[in-house]
Chains A and B, each alone.
Chain A
Amino acid sequence: MKAKRNRYGGCYRRGLEAAQVCVGEENWVDSRTIYIGQKEPPPGTEAFIQQRFPDNRIVSSKYTFWNFIPKNMFEQFRRVANFYFLIIFLVQLIIDTPTSPITSGLPLFFVITVTAIKQGYEDWLRHKADNSVNQCPVHVVQHGKVVRKQSRKLRVGDVVFVKENETFPCDLILLSTSRDEGICYVTTASLDGESSHKTYFAVQDTKAYNTEQEVDSIHATIECEQPQPDLYKFVGRINIYMDNEPVARPLGSENLLLRGATLKNTEYIYAVAIYTGMETKMALNYQSKTQKRSAVEKSMNAYLVVYLFILISKAFVNTVLKYVWQADPNRDEPWYNDRTESERQRHIVIRAFTDFLAFMVLFNYIIPVSMYVTVEMQKFLGSYFIMWDDEMFDEELGERAVVNTSDLNEELGQVEYVFTDKTGTLTENNMEFIECCVDGHVYVPHVILNGQVMPGAGMDMIDTSPGPEAREHEELFFRALCLCHTVQVKEEETVDGIKHGIHQGKLGFTYLRLKDSHMEILNREDEIERFELLEVLTFDSVRRRMSVIVRSSSGQLYLFCKGADSSIFPRVISGKVEQEGLRTLCVAYRLLSPEQYQEVCHLLSGAKLALQDRDRRLAEAYDLIEKDLILLGATAVEDRLQEKAADTIESLHKAGMKVWVLTGDKMETAAATCYASKLFHRNTQILELTTKRTEEQSLHDVLFDLSRTVLRQHGGMTRDTFSGLSGDCTDYGLIIDGATLSAVMRPPQEDSNSGNYKEIFLEICRNCSAVLCCRMAPLQKAQIVKLIKASKEHPITLAIGDGANDVSMILEAHVGVGIMGKEGRQAVRNSDYAIPKFKHLKKMLLVHGHYYYIRISELVQYFFYKNVCFIFPQFLYQFFCGFSQQPLYDTAYLTLYNISFTSLPILLYSLIEQHINMDILKKDPSLYRDIAKNSLLRWPIFIYWTILGVYDAIVMFFGAYFLFDNTTFTSNGQMFGNWTFGTLVFTVLVFTVTFKLALDTHYWTWINHFVIWGSLIFFVVFSLLWGGIIWPFLNYQRMYYVFMQMLSSGPAWLSIILLITAGLLPDVLKKVIWRALWPTTTERIQMYAGFGYVPTLLDNADKLYKGHLSEFTPLASLQSKAGSQRRGSGGQRNAPNPRRSEPFSKKTMFTRWQRTPDYCTFTPLLRFADGARNSRQGYAQGGQTSV
């Protein structure tokens, strides 16, 4: 299922792009007409034009049997690296080159074959899946009977019969169901991962037709839009011909059953196919995302260019030297070494060019084909460690981390900016009822324990004796709460959620069910009240409210409206409510006269039936209807922080990351969350860039003011650092809202004084450790990410969020992380990585990201190093063999060096190296700074590695050279030839590069031992075998007994040991001296860890973190202060209000420390609360007032 889901990745992106393009534009592309049951409409209505639609065959496979090889080859050779090696291979085939084509052909063939087999296998699986899907039986109603058909033969217009737990074979319009209400339940888990049951509705006029005969008698046509990839949008119209009089009904996404979804809790349904095969919404979502490239990959490519340049210049230099050297004919062609006639007749230019190519081929191993393979394998295999991580598994959700793109593993270690969503990411997105306020009277539950109302504890009425009018309002308020929602209460599924728990039972009103369009609620006297549900004005994020129109049993028509305060208040004509910093949900109502209701119905049906622009017209209609409201009251809910969110943010801060909170929420709530999550500290100086401020001053002035403040303080900070007083006054927090942001982002105006605000804004942001952006639209979130991405340091950004509104920024950021929250799976599907909870980000970045970065940077550097070591001696050898392109090593060594002798140790290293224990990485986030800014792949380090490679090559080559120089080193006086020379160099080479890796390995598991020593033993065994027999298939026997003869000589052993030692010496020395004189934090920690000195202080801190200390909102208590003052001025109550602080402390007591209250750790908690209070005061002094 996971793989399947991945294939739908990118769905939202397309939808999003479409939305971006089509804002305010015509969204209606083209329409199609479907004749239900393939029947002609009654004559005279309209012309019967049967359109042609594709059949229901799903083709997810890429290749067929015939085109597999050409198509796959083409795709593989489109990659630059493969193409390069193909060219080298072809050059070797065409011209006379020093090495046989096998040396480059074999690895290339290996890589291509393995990839082809993998892709072929995957495609075969897809074929199989396609076949099983295409051939699975579906039931179709034909001539009044249910007939079995193969799925692929399904046509548009067929009426399909689907039973419970079956998957829909194509996109269908629901005609009727086994349920009386004409509804069915569906789970779309395989489409978008939401496992909740969703309700779909049959067309009103056909819902009664629920046998096959009846369904067959339906005469209707459906007009709808051509297929579009957005899963959640559908517009259509059904024309039903009853008595030859067509009745038109609107169709929306609530009538559309998507292919891939499964029918649940409904016995059967009849539905008509409208989109089939590759036109289903699921199939349209197959497109994959654009690939993101990591910073490491970019530096790798830069190194490649450098090496390509080195390669070309080496070949060029050698070619030139060759012809200079050969100017003397006795050198060019001495008597003992003649050319063939054909060679002699070749033109000198062609000869020179051929020589150049031959040198290229000889040195081409400097860019190893195996590096690409190894990097890819490392990324693919390495990503499993994220998925396997036990600590990133969430028991509650039963989910573990998911890796959608393994290309970015190392980017997790490079993050500089974290953009996080608030609701559902930092917080639980689990609204906890705090209080409600009706008509200015405040109600709080008596005791709240861990988010649940204590059984038996009723509502505590603070305001005694409300008047009868107030009481009436109160009842209406609770009725409204019970009615104004879209929750289905079903037999199996209990609706939980605290709010409903409170609605139900505790306040005396309980919502029972929706039956025959009547909502039934149980009132305080245990009587059932019935309200006829007339209209539902659904919720959307733009309006931020929803309404229902009901008719009470007494015949009165009510419109109940519920929504965010900001969206309700402008529409209210009377009523009052207390406002605090909490999230509030306002409830208002309006009495409708029958005439008004008629008007409303007219408006709504007009809008709903519209085929074009339906959404806009609906919104207009809603806008007209939801007005003149009377405010009933408000409920205040609190969204608790996620477990360890503050700890995570603190760690990210310590790791040098800048955390920005981007939220659509209002400023006060967002700021409260920021304080609670320790994004802002008590000594954080808050800078504000809000509409409120820009109203007073011009944006220009505000920006300059702020930048001045920041820069002055910046200077002050450096001074403070010198005087040793650094610490407290360096922290800045910026709060900006969406409106101001769009003003800042506006391109500079023509008139001079506006200037370019972006730069100033960025300058301010750069000096702030935390930024809070509130009231953001989803696209603004992406805009911010883009702005930071494009700033001059080009920092690596990470966006994390859980909802559809975060998708834009998740796609925009370098790394997108999705939280498996409560709001569906769009974020998860579009993310590169998905984690169950925000707290898992800490391990993801600080441990996994750090490791991956260390591992891959070593992998890349080491690969270049070992190939310099490999090829440079061969380059040097050209100077001693008359530039004749004579290879130093045997073909087998040339071929196998990168494939088998030195490949496994580095692959293993890059999978399991841990330079520091992961516990220390978690404890000390500042270690993350050590690898910031791609620090291990900077040019100086790259040059160091290259120089080291050149040094080793020189040591190896000249060591062997002086040993061979005009003497023998066997005890029987016999001489060795050139192949022994090469073998000696090669042996030293293999051992040196492997030992170099061994020296770099800090984490020696048995696998490391096995692989490192194993690959050396393999080399020796291979060499013994390769030289051990006369190989019948080879036309040369140059290696025969060379290796054994070499090993039989004492000086060879001695020189191997000497050269390895000399080769490794500088690197060891550099390491040790650097560590001793200029140790990085990492190295210092390693030292302590190595000697078992991990300070106990850290241990304690760790215990403290683990001590079930979850976060809470200090604002709750602070608000009480501010709130009570305001309340006082409001004349309601003058006495200091004890009710908020008291339950608060109780709450802390009960909810956080229920297990075993640990009072010594309780102290810092209080201190923190104090601190937060102070900061709040500072915050208020900073000119901050609630909106």
Chain B
Amino acid sequence: MMASSYNAKDEDGHITVTGPGGGTLRSKKPENTAFKQQRLPAWQPILTAGTVLPAFFIIGLIFIPIGIGLYVTSNNIKEFEVDYTGVDMSSPCFNCSQNFSWNSTTPCTCTIPFFLEQPYESNVFMYYGLSNFYQNHRRYVKSRDDSQLNGDMTSLKEPSKECEPYAYHDNKPIAPCGAIANSMFNDTLELFYNDPNGTKVQIPLTNIGIAWWTDKHVKFKNPGAGEANQNLTAVFQGTTKPLNWRRPVYELDAAANNDGFINEDFIVWMRTAALPTFRKLYRIIKSPSNGMMPTMPRGNYTLEVVYITTMSKNLGQNLFNQLNPDYPVRSFEGRKRMILSTISWMGGKNPFLGIAYITVGSVCFFLGVVLLIIHHKCGNRNNSADISN
């Protein structure tokens, strides 16, 4: 009965002898490295009124000029907007927006005159704007087949399930499939300059360069794009056009480099907007090459909207109940606009950024002053105070 059975101690004074066995114990000693001892050299900044003060002033001093610059730039941008939805009886587009019996062979055209108070210099960008149009609805956003648009032949013949219910029509695959493509904006906008001498000059509109370069050249490809003698009509053989379209996809534009999936109007439409009120780039009015004349001088202009008859087939009721001459937005209380805008380095007219910069800058500056006072008062108090006792 030996020492091994001693567990308790207290008053006895028994000692269990422990024999340290030198060798193995050395290895237990922790390594004395800066990391393991948590003593890595470190910069130890503290945010105090004193250290933050300069930062606040600096932010204020940088932000306010930037904001002013942005604001001025934004104000210098010229923008003109025409609503041509045709809700009012008085509106010239009222007739075209009504769905009455219509000879579909002749397009309905409405003419809206407007007056530009200021001349628009350099390139002028022409947008169409829609509101209350939910391009960002989940069902809508995913209703497309990117492989089909990338020129994949199998996807052309067998569109993705995501395109449902816009994938097949009459057992033929729809090209391009999906709700986005199906609802492509199809009003034709034309601009005329009413010369002071009375002549009506059509302003040339460029439809090249309105889509992202990468979209046009990489993301969107016509099927069989690599082949030498590409015949779009042949390639799209066996597919059908989207229900709402008047023409098949290979007839979107006469120019070969803007036809089919790589049509820029189409590409622009396919980039779904972030918010229900949006605008999309429609055309560019290039500045005249001599540069002396403004692109659009001050004066009277006419916007002509050419409606191509659209058959809006509401699948829910499964019948053609509407024969809309125009791109229909009134059913969901939407609006259609035409916007002319010049562009600066910071894009279109948007006073928000400038105002925000000025606001944040001034707040910072003001807070800097407040902190300066606080620092001045409390700093002294702290210095005189003892540390903990």
Contacts and interface: CB of A to CB of B under 8 A. Distances in A.
B218 A393 contact: no
Contacts of B212: 974, 1041, 1045
In order of increasing CB-CB distance, the 4 nearest A-B pairs are A398-B25, A541-B8, A336-B183, A969-B347
Interface in A948-1006: 959, 961-978, 980-982, 999, 1002-1006
A619 interface: no
Contacts of B9: 423-424, 429, 541, 664, 803, 805, 823
Interface in B201-229: 209-212, 214-215, 218-219
A822 B48 CA distance: 50
B1 A385 contact: no
Listed residue (B11, B312, B328) with the most chain A CB atoms within 10 angstroms of its CB: B11
Interface string B329-349: 001110000000101111111
A1036 B146 contact: yes
B275 interface: yes
A337 B26 contact: no
Contact of B350 (A495, A803, A822, A967): A967
A908 B353 CA distance: 36
B59 A335 contact: no
B343 A973 contact: yes
Interface stretch (A588-596, A764-772, A1061-1069): A1061-1069
Interface string A340-360: 110010000000000000000
Contact of A977 (B10, B182, B274): B274
Contacts of B209: 972
Contacts of A339: 139, 165, 316
Contacts of B25: 397-399
Interface stretch (A50-58, A173-181, A1070-1078): A1070-1078
A575 B165 CA distance: 109
Listed residue (A499, A546, A882) with the most chain B CB atoms within 10 angstroms of its CB: A882
Contacts of B38: 385, 851, 912, 914, 918
Interface stretch (A36-44, A486-494, A679-687): A486-494
A123 interface: no
B123 A973 contact: yes
B10 A564 contact: yes
Contact of A964 (B49, B274, B382): B274
Contact of A975 (B142, B281, B316, B388): B281
A400 B29 contact: yes
Interface string B21-47: 100011011111000111111111111
A968 B63 CA distance: 22
A736 interface: no
B212 to A, nearest CB: 6
A886 interface: yes
28 contacts: A199-B2, A253-B5, A254-B4, A337-B139, A339-B139, A398-B26, A423-B10, A424-B9, A495-B17, A539-B12, A567-B11, A803-B9, A822-B16, A881-B134, A886-B138, A918-B39, A926-B388, A967-B348, A968-B341, A970-B347, A973-B125, A1040-B215, A1040-B218, A1068-B52, A1076-B48, A1081-B388, A1090-B44, A1095-B387
B385 interface: yes
Contacts of B143: 337
A153 interface: no
Contacts of B17: 196, 487, 493, 495-497
Contact of A1003 (B31, B37, B42, B346): B42
Contacts of A199: 2-4
B352 interface: yes
Interface string A1080-1091: 010011111110
Contact of A924 (B39, B41, B219, B387): B387
Nearest to B135: A978
A822 B182 CA distance: 85
B20 A337 contact: no
A803 B353 contact: no
Interface residues of B, number: 131
A1085 B16 contact: no
Interface string A372-401: 000000000000110111100100011110
Interface string A412-431: 00000000000110000111
A884 B331 contact: no
Nearest to B334: A334
A965 B4 contact: no
A965 B40 contact: no
A747 interface: no
Given A389-B37, A884-B134, 4 more contacts: A539-B6, A918-B39, A1054-B353, A1095-B387
Contact of B3 (A196, A253, A918): A196
Contacts of A399: 25, 28
Given A198-B2, A981-B274, A1084 B12 contact: no
B306 interface: no
A497 B341 CA distance: 97
Given A563-B12, A1037-B150, A882 B328 contact: no
Given A664-B10, A1055-B353, A967 B5 contact: no
Nearest to B219: A1040
Contact of B353 (A397, A538, A963, A1004): A963
B284 A881 contact: no
Contact of B137 (A881, A980, A1038): A881
A541 B10 CA distance: 7
A264 to B, nearest CB: 11
B192 to A, nearest CB: 21
Given A196-B19, A824-B16, A974 B345 contact: no
B303 interface: no
Interface string B135-152: 111111111111100100
Listed residue (B214, B357, B387) with the most chain A CB atoms within 10 angstroms of its CB: B387
Contact of A968 (B13, B281, B332): B281
A939 B141 CA distance: 41
Contacts of B44: 914, 917, 1002-1004, 1089-1090
B225 to A, nearest CB: 13
Nearest to A1062: B360
B241 interface: no
Nearest to A562: B12
Contacts of B387: 924, 1084-1085, 1088, 1095, 1098
B353 A1051 contact: yes
B246 to A, nearest CB: 16
A818 to B, nearest CB: 14
Contact of A881 (B20, B138, B350): B138
Contacts of B344: 971
Given A388-B30, A1002-B45, A340 B164 contact: yes
A431 B312 CA distance: 101
A855 to B, nearest CB: 11
B316 A486 contact: no
A194 interface: yes
B360 A1049 contact: no
Contacts of B350: 962-963, 965, 967, 969, 1051
A1051 B346 CA distance: 5
A837 interface: no
B347 A884 contact: no
A331 B332 contact: yes
Given A335-B328, A495-B17, A538-B1, A999 B146 contact: no
A200 B165 CA distance: 86
Contacts of B315: 338
A655 to B, nearest CB: 12
Contacts of A778: 8
B20 A1072 contact: no
B134 to A, nearest CB: 5
Interface string B267-306: 0100111111111110010000000000000000000000
A1065 B150 contact: no
Interface in B228-285: 268, 271-281, 284
A709 interface: no
